[in-house]
Amino acid sequence: GAVVSQHPSRVICKSGTSVKIECRSLDFQATTMFWYRQFPKQSLMLMATSNEGSKATYEQGVEKDKFLINHASLTLSTLTVTSAHPEDSSFYICSAEVPGGGYTFGSGTRLTVV
Instruction: Give residues in contact with another protein (CB under 8 A).
Output: 6, 9, 32, 34, 41-46, 49, 57, 91, 93, 95, 97, 102-108, 110
Task: Check residue 108 and give left, alpha or beta (phi > 0: left; psi -120 to 50: alpha).
Answer: left
Q: Of the two residues 57 and 70, which places its CB atom closer to another protein in the complex?
A: 57
* Of residues 80 and 104, the one with the C-beta less far from another protein: 104
Cβ closer to another protein: 49 or 82?
49
Amino acid at 90: S
Least distance from another protein to the Cβ atom of residue 80, Å: 20
**Min CB(65)–another protein separation in Å:** 21
In the complex, the smallest distance separating the C-beta of residue 61 from another protein, rounded to whole angstroms, is: 11
Tally of CB atoms within 10 A around 1: 7
Rounded to an integer, what distance in angstroms lies between the CA atom of residue 74 and that of residue 81? 21
Specify whether the backbone of 53 is left (phi greater than 0), alpha (psi in -120 to 50) or beta.
Answer: left
Nearest-angstrom CA–CA distance, 13 and 30: 29
Minimum distance from CB of 42 to another protein (Å)? 7
In whole angstroms, what is the distance from residue 52 CA to residue 71 CA? 5
Nearer to another protein, 56 or 113 (CB): 56
